[in-house]
Structure 1
Amino acid sequence: MRSGLVGRWAAVTGAVLLTGACTQATGLAGVGATSPSTAPVTGTPAVTATIPTPSHLAAEQPPQGDEPVEVPPPKLSKYTYTFPVKGCKTEYQRKLLVLPKTTIWAPQGCAFVAPVGGVVDEVNVQDRWSAGTDAGSTREGRFVTIIGDDGVRYLGGHLDSVADGIKPGTRVKGGQLLGRVGRTGNARDTGPNLYFAISWKTGPAFWWVRRGMVEPWDYLDAWQEGNRTLSPREETLKLRGKLGETPQCTVQCSAVRSQQEPQPSKTPRPQKSTSDNNDDDDDVITLNPTTAPLDGR
């Protein structure tokens, strides 16, 4: 009787031990996967093994490159240009208003420099503009023009002053000081600015050509943004061939109509006193500016 009871207890104990063994995860050769010293974690066990990336996927990963290399703008001409206002923050118009020119707004006294190497053509150091007549020939006040080595004429007007040594025939380099930004001419009642215009060479009587024939803002954009070889030469020569070297005046012409056909005139000879026996009897001749255009090449 007693031996039968012991046998049943042994059977129950064996069944319990067998069930517990079956609920444990087993590894290779029946070895438990859980470390004996670590309590089992409930939920999904963390995977600690590193899965290697297949070689064909690793090859598709972009390689780490060096810093980008800046490529200089393409060389578009043999000439090198400079933005005509140096050392100051500027703004300028990019649209056609009355004439194909632009107004470069800059603080008083900023440097107006030669946009390209060339020769000084015209210099006006006197501000002759009058609001009463608003003559087109005087609207730029003090101004300097140069004939660039590219054959193009550049005008900077409304100047406060003209730089020392700048006179007709003077050779200048690109970036050389020609004058200082001001508010002369019809800019008298506005903020200081530079009247900037592109044209071709003519005689001083054809002042309306000097005031601007070629839209300048695309070239200003390029020179300011780093493409310093974009040249207005081709466009300027093409337009001169189309319009002629001295096209008819169309803007602010009436106030100075007489200047379009200037004629030599004599000044009255003063009356001689009886005591003035050594006066020269020759007439004093005053000539207006020539109408003959200069070489426009």
Structure 2
Amino acid sequence: MGALLMTGACTQATGLAGVSAQSPSTAPVTGTPEVTATIPDVEHQSAEQPPTGGDAIKVPPPKLSKYSYTFPVKGCKTTYQRKLLVLPKTTIWAKQGCGFVAPIEGVVDEVSLQNRWNPATDAGADREGKFVTIIGDDGVRYLGGHLDSVADGVKPGARVKAGQLLGRIGRTGNARDTGPNLYFAISWKTGPAFWWVRRGMVKPWDYLDAWDSGNRTYSPREETLKLRGKLGETPGCTVQCAGRQAITPQSQPSGSSTPKPRKTRDQGDPPEVITPSIAPFGSQ
């Protein structure tokens, strides 16, 4: 027994200050770590449904001006041009008799109750046939032409509300050989002698798109005011200005084989409409 103890003491290596030179042994890891999270099975996952949201909330379009507009044709399916062809205006195609309504509250400016257009002369002032123009509360002039008829009580100086019936769509003027349509134009107030201004100065289709889609406060006032300041109130005619000179047997002198053209109304002569006194554009 004593021999064995001495042998063990002799074989044990010691380090400095009696510290063992052997590295302490690490106890082997036994068992598996405890799992605290639970993983749902597939059946449990499929049973869960995502939360359902409520109905979409419709956000109204932003208010872009203090004025309120409406599409100028009421109660009928329409199509219209969205590009510049000859004049900055548009042709709104609709069935015969559809209503042309005031696009904004304002005052009736000009009314043409007679279809004076003659294809032999094609006078510029007569091309819209029966028409109505109004000066809106925004100071802008709106024209609806090629009308079949003008509504009762619509006369120069009459106050109208947005959406009020002004006339019925037809084929008067130089639309005689086309389908019924509304000649729609945006400009500013001038005297009736300057009929080419009335026929359209501002491209209207962006405004029509907005009014038709529900943004009723998109206003042409700013664009119209800017263009009027650039061109002046009565710019000269530059597009489709001259009519034709009609030739008739009565205009041919005796003994002459060369027909003599008949003098037609000068483009500066005013059409037979009444224009009331309205505040100058931009003062509203």
Q: Which moved more, 1:249-258 or 1:226-235?
A: 249-258
| Distance change >3 Å, CA 64–CA 288, structure 1 → 2 | closer
Give the aligned partner of residue 8 of structure 2.
none
Which residue, out of 121, 129, 133, partners 1:141?
Answer: 129
Give the aligned partner of residue 148 of structure 2.
160
CA distance in structure 2 between the aligned counterparts of 1:208 and 1:221, rounded to whole angstroms: 25
Mapped pair 1:171 → 2:179: no
Kept after mapping to 2: 8 A contact 1:201/1:295: no
CA distance in structure 2 between the aligned counterparts of 1:53 and 1:172, rounded to whole angstroms: 71
Which residue, out of 191, 201, 204, partners 1:216?
Answer: 204
| Distance change >3 Å, CA 88–CA 257, structure 1 → 2 | same
For 1:53-64, list aligned pairs within 5 A.
Answer: 63-64=51-52
Mapped pair 1:296 → 2:250: no
Matched AA of 2:163? G
Matched AA of 1:260? G
Mapped pair 1:229 → 2:213: no
CA distance in structure 1 between the aligned counterparts of 2:88 and 2:59, rounded to whole angstroms: 33
CA distance in structure 2 between the aligned counterparts of 1:118 and 1:290, rounded to whole angstroms: 16
Mapped pair 1:69 → 2:77: no
CA distance in structure 2 between the aligned counterparts of 1:119 and 1:261, rounded to whole angstroms: 24
Tell me the CA shift for residue 51 of structure 1: 5.7
Post-superposition Cα deviations, 1:147-171, rounded to whole Å, max 9, x if no partner, equal 0000000000000000000000000
CA distance in structure 2 between the aligned counterparts of 1:248 and 1:294, rounded to whole angstroms: 22
Q: What TM-score results when the alignment is normalised by the length of structure 1?
A: 0.69
| Distance change >3 Å, CA 235–CA 130, structure 1 → 2 | same
Tell me the CA shift for residue 259 of structure 1: 4.0
Kept after mapping to 2: 8 A contact 1:117/1:173: yes
Identity of aligned residues (%): 78
Mapped pair 1:52 → 2:43: no
Mapped pair 1:260 → 2:268: yes
CA distance in structure 2 between the aligned counterparts of 1:113 and 1:226, rounded to whole angstroms: 16
Tell me the CA shift for residue 52 of structure 1: 2.0
| Distance change >3 Å, CA 260–CA 123, structure 1 → 2 | same
Which residue, out of 64, 68, 71, partners 1:83?
Answer: 71
CA distance in structure 1 between the aligned counterparts of 2:274 and 2:58, rounded to whole angstroms: 52
Tell me the CA shift for residue 63 of structure 1: 3.5
SS of the aligned residue for 1:260 comes to coil
Post-superposition Cα deviations, 1:237-292, rounded to whole Å, max 9, x if no partner, equal 00000000000011232237734278xxxxxxxxxxxxxxxxxxxxxxxx98899x
Which residue, out of 43, 67, 89, partners 1:101?
Answer: 89
CA distance in structure 1 between the aligned counterparts of 2:279 and 2:170, rounded to whole angstroms: 31
Kept after mapping to 2: 8 A contact 1:214/1:236: yes
SS of the aligned residue for 2:240 comes to coil
Give the aligned partner of residue 30 of structure 2.
none
Which residue, out of 229, 242, 251, partners 2:230?
Answer: 242
Kept after mapping to 2: 8 A contact 1:205/1:290: no
Tell me the CA shift for residue 216 of structure 1: 0.2
Tell me the CA shift for residue 65 of structure 1: 1.3
Q: What TM-score results when the alignment is normalised by the length of structure 2?
A: 0.72
- Aligned positions, number: 219
Post-superposition Cα deviations, 1:25-48, rounded to whole Å, max 9, x if no partner, equal xxxxxxxxxxxxxxxxxxxxxxxx
| Runs of 4+ off more than 6 Å | 287-291
Kept after mapping to 1: 8 A contact 2:112/2:273: no
Give the aligned partner of residue 284 of structure 1.
none
CA distance in structure 1 between the aligned counterparts of 2:236 and 2:280, rounded to whole angstroms: 16
Q: Which moved more, 1:210-219 or 1:64-73?
A: 64-73
CA distance in structure 2 between the aligned counterparts of 1:142 and 1:67, rounded to whole angstroms: 49
Tell me the CA shift for residue 129 of structure 1: 0.3
Which residue, out of 100, 109, 131, partners 2:119?
Answer: 131
CA distance in structure 2 between the aligned counterparts of 1:140 and 1:174, rounded to whole angstroms: 22
Tell me the CA shift for residue 68 of structure 1: 1.0
The RMSD of aligned alpha carbons is 2.7
CA distance in structure 1 between the aligned counterparts of 2:195 and 2:187, rounded to whole angstroms: 11
Give the aligned partner of residue 252 of structure 2.
none
| Distance change >3 Å, CA 110–CA 52, structure 1 → 2 | same
